[in-house]
Structure 1
């Protein structure tokens, strides 16, 4: 009886072992089949989403999971975005569920790069974040695996869910981990293939254009715009190329509109001929995404702009940059390098009188007595396309020129212009300066201009254009955010000042670092030490003149000088170069004036009050810091 009992128990155990073994073999077969199919899909070059979708289906079947999700990292949105899910209601929320790194169990897995197995009620985990639309409340087990390729950042998270507790064993977790590794490799491979496709599409761009499109620049640009819209999956593509032809805008353009966009929004322009102005009126209220790049690098000859409803990605920008290089090459081959260059670039780089005269004659300017003005206009309501705002700016500038009497011409586009005014009548030049100043005072307008001297012949006009450009540079420098009109006579005597200032730069930097302590003391204590030091240096160290100028007693002056000496570590009377010291304290006082203006107490990223209206980006050069670590208490 005992032996029979023993044999019976052995048979029972043997039967149990066989079942376990069978289950293990079946799991191994499912694992092998899953990994084999995914590996095959990778070798076929499937795109990342197709690979992830198949991984979800195979892994869910192999592990008997009730649901499986793949969250992929979106660089543009800086979120983990649900991109793949098993069949069911969850697929209706793809692209809508988004998590920050560290948010929820899934975000935690991405942050820590560690797998998580929750065998009982994932909803009770403190890291859990509920999305009612995914109906995750019915799940009782969860596995989350980070998708990380060797040497790469986190690419996403792969999650499995089951309806019963402790549904996933070690083999299931191992399979999910291996699938996660395959997904990571597939994503990296897919990104590499995408980059190769982008490069190939850019390289093939000109070859794909129809042969009959090369008859003229305009027809070629229209064909290029159509091809670019297809490659970028855009609803609208506009290519603008600046030329010196007789167009009103001194340029030509190509435009392409998808049939779906035309059908949906074509009624907005009715029977009017479709041009850039009409198109802009249609695009403005739609809040479409825009991607715009210049054509050319050192001297852009135009721009290409694509519009669509969905967001542009980094790959789209890379593709458009490659296509832009091809468009620029095609435009130059049709129209010639020199003739496509913007007219302002031609004028500003002209090295001799005959070239300048030839350029101006091409535009019909033959007047001997002329005044040249270089102008830049910026508006707060800059449009998506250049034309409408450019037209309004040109009309305003032309109105300024017309009111002066005599002939005039306005060259340039896109906010940069050269105006030539026939100036045979005395006073026209001064009136022009006044009217430009009034235009710059209008709300939402920033106008900087340099006005050259009156030229009486071609030789003088060649020089006058350069003099106007020099005056313009001074206007830009002295008013970085405001309107300013500068005449050449105002800065002619300062042409060598930049060279002199560079020679003094080292000594000025050292003195300004030292004097910064004086300014900081004034700000903290509402004193006037910087003003006192300025007066003392201006009056060559004369206590009598300085105290009289400041309306203070000599003893008060001496006390202030003593305090300054304590702050800067040396007596002001010991400066070897009083001119450089005077310039340094004058610059410091100018910064103090800026800081005192309403709304101008700006803080740099390090927490100190900045010099002027914006941070110079060099904390070590900030006068307020006084050569020390910037204080965060100001």
Structure 2
């Protein structure tokens, strides 16, 4: 005995011969059903009328294929699960890019509602109950097929976007950013025209694609553009827009998704003016990532500029020059005994009284100069970490060659 289609009561299921006869009568009015369905689409959905003639004709083909597919399925002597591949196969893949899944569901719903109404108006009374039950089953399968098509399209699009994003991120990180790369970044949703930082951390333990999408979600909530790629055992994230140039804002933003990175340090490179300049931020972030082991108690995330001493000791010439340029030179130029006071203060175990005796000045004078040192350099000699930075900056500054540039 033939299997009963799900959704149709056995008591309502006629013989194969009767179904064939009913299907033949319905085939005679299928054209009218399609015309009525398209007319209802235009009346009910404003966006349908805004489509060009080509896309409307494709949708008409889908509607016609759906109704014809139902007729053939219903007339099958061996009823089974409906096969609706031919319904959407009549339209090109481009149609899935033109209308959304929600709109597709709306069109399917409209077509089914019109078909059910047309069955009541055009088909004999005896045919209606079984046709209505069969239509309910068939429409469900059509809806599932539509969802599957869009899911596959989204999966393919996501895979392509991931590959494209990896290529763009790699070009940005390597400093090979031309107009083509910028155009591709724009296609991926990059909108920022200024202020970019690069973040480096360990490869995520989760699937990289999932991890990058999770970071993207957090960045979207913060109003920040984002590109990401896994390179070897590291995850590099490019951030742009908003107040990302503000160190505090950048740190708070990265904290939102810090848990997505693998264990270990997360280093934020210095801000640069444009995506095309991101390689400078990348260089500093990578240098900080390699040197972060020298400061086990560093915050997570940590800014690359906070790791200048470790970077300098690990062989980063840019960090050595930065320490000398940003700390030693300003203190030397400020005069008023600031540099001498700093050296004596550090040499005397950070003792104000011992420094005052060594310099033959009052202790309050030492305290004033220490305050000025912090104002000029941004580092406090009384803080152990800052004192370490200042000591290394002084040493590197003293190694400046005659041309005024620190040695490499």
Assess same fold via TM > 0.5: no
Give the TM-score normalised by structure 1: 0.24
Q: Which has the higher helix share?
A: 2
Q: Which has the higher strand share?
A: 1
Give the TM-score normalised by structure 2: 0.34
Q: Which has the higher contact order (CA 8 A, sep 6+)?
A: 2
